[in-house]
Amino acid sequence: MVIVMLAITSALLMSLTESTFISMRINRSAEQRIKAEYILKSAFNVAQELIKNDQPPDDIITDNWMDYASSRDIPALYLDVQEPNTSVKLLIKSEKGKIPIKAVANVTHPQWKRALTNLFVGLGFDTESRPDISATCRIEQPWHCSSAETVANLIDYLDQDDVNHTEPGNPVQGIESDLPQGERFRNNGQIDALEELLLVPGFTPGRLNKIAQLVSVELPATSAKVNVNAAAAPVLQALAELFPGAVGLPELGSTLESCAKSADPAIGPLRSQTMIQNCLAMRDPAWPAAQIALQMNPLVDFGGNLYRVIARVEYGTGMAFMGTALYEKQSGPQPLKLKSMFLY
């Protein structure tokens, strides 16, 4: 009986110990989650201060927020985080440094659909490995849609009719008329989130991952322009290739990006069509710099007022929390306008 009682007591102690340990882990996790929420909000406050004094043109030398255009740790003295082994990373991106997705259906500026097609071609949409080479672009086979077909399907999703998008002299068309009976695209010119693109044939999770930092669903369809001083090389390449003679010159985008980030005021940041032309001409006199700059000019700007902020709190235990916010810079001394915020 003594042995049985000892065995039962040991089992109870082990169960109690395990239960206590699990409870401690749960409580610790809840505590870190609450702390992370306030740390993330503090990180957003840091981002607001960095953005607040921004003046166009965007300049990597004078605009402090551009130091965080690539994710980096926030200095500990900014946040005074007491939690040991904790790092806080911050990423600030100008939404105007991206191609505006909703503008592709804007008939006033048909260059946008060409620019987006150029971007998709540059990202390899047309050269992806496809197991069934005889398959075509269909609702159930989005990975077989070419760059041009994907853009045509996107226009179908945005426009206000229920027929396939077609263009004179262009054999590529959308597939809205082929939707299953009773189904239709949104057809109101709006996209609420980047993930909504998965409803459009041609956009797959893999492709969405490629374009996530290169396109924006926040910018309006009208009067949208790309901030060349905050744009990545693939976006600048897509805009440069609006001039047909630029196709086949793969270094155009990286050249423009390097000029935008140059500390030499004679080279960058870019402030005008002339500076874009001079940047390309200095890199290679054989490039059609004047024609490229002329084609890009209607679609580019040199500063921005809309910023995507992503913050991440990482604990030494491997636990991490994230948050994202969208800020709009208003005119004058007014504070930034918070358009959205999500914590994960």
Instruction: Give the tens place of pLDDT for each residue, 207-220.
Output: 999 999 999 999 88
pLDDT band, residue 10 (cuts 50/70/90): confident
**Among 213, 243, 268, residue at a domain's last position:** 213
- Give the pLDDT of residue 215: 95
User: Parallel, antiparallel, or unpaired: how do β-strands 226-227 and 300-301 relate?
Assistant: parallel
Distance, in Å, from the CA atom of 304 to the CA atom of 11, rounded to the nearest integer, reads 65
Classify residue 177: in a domain, yes or no.
yes
Distance, in Å, from the CA atom of 168 to the CA atom of 12, rounded to the nearest integer, reads 80
Write out the two tokens for 8: 């039962």
pLDDT band, residue 171 (cuts 50/70/90): confident
Classify residue 253: in a domain, yes or no.
no
- Give the pLDDT of residue 24: 65
- Give the pLDDT of residue 64: 86
- Give the pLDDT of residue 296: 95
Q: What is the pLDDT of residues 26-53, one digit of tens each?
A: 666 677 788 888 889 999 999 998 888 7
**DSSP state string for 24-90:** HHHHHHHHHHHHHHHHHHHHHHHHHHHHHT--SSP-TTT-GGGGGSS-EEPPHHHH---STTEEEEE
- Give the pLDDT of residue 319: 81
Alpha helices in 192-320 (DSSP H): 205-211, 233-240, 252-260, 273-283, 289-296
Classify residue 287: in a domain, yes or no.
no
Q: Radius of gyration (Cα) for the chain, nearest Å?
A: 25
Write out the two tokens for 239: 């805009």
More confident: 326 or 10: 326
* Opening angle at CA 329, ends 326 and 332, nearest 5: 160
CA torsion sign, 33 to 34 to 37 to 42?
negative
For residue 75, what are the contacts with CB-CB under 8 A and spacing of at least 6? none
**Among 166, 192, 213, residue at a domain's last position:** 213
Which helix (H) or strand (E) covers residue 18, if one does?
Answer: helix 2-52
CATH of residue 64: 3.30.1300.30
Distance, in Å, from the CA atom of 290 to the CA atom of 246, rounded to the nearest integer, reads 11
Residue 308 — φ and ψ, nearest 5°? -100, 125
Classify residue 54: in a domain, yes or no.
yes
More confident: 226 or 220: 226
74 & 137 share domain:
no
Q: What is the mean pLDDT of the chain?
A: 88
Average pLDDT over residues 150-165: 91
79 & 156 share domain:
no
- Give the pLDDT of residue 137: 87
Classify residue 108: in a domain, yes or no.
no
- Give the pLDDT of residue 121: 96
More confident: 111 or 85: 111
Q: What is the pLDDT of residues 255-307, one digit of tens each?
A: 999 999 888 888 889 999 999 999 999 999 999 999 999 999 999 999 888 99
Give me the domain span that covers residue 175.
124-213
- Give the pLDDT of residue 330: 84
158 & 92 share domain:
no
Q: What is the pLDDT of residues 99-136, one digit of tens each?
A: 999 999 887 788 999 999 999 999 999 988 877 777 88
130 & 88 share domain:
no
Number of domains comprising the chain: 2
Does residue 158 have a pLDDT over 90?
A: yes
Which helix (H) or strand (E) covers residue 322, if one does?
Answer: strand 320-328
Given a contact cutoff of 8 angstroms between Cβ atoms, the answer to whether 269 and 302 are in contact is: yes
Does residue 332 have a pLDDT over 80?
A: no
Full-model pTM: 0.86
**Among 213, 237, 272, residue at a domain's last position:** 213
130 & 71 share domain:
no
pLDDT band, residue 141 (cuts 50/70/90): confident
Classify residue 130: in a domain, yes or no.
yes
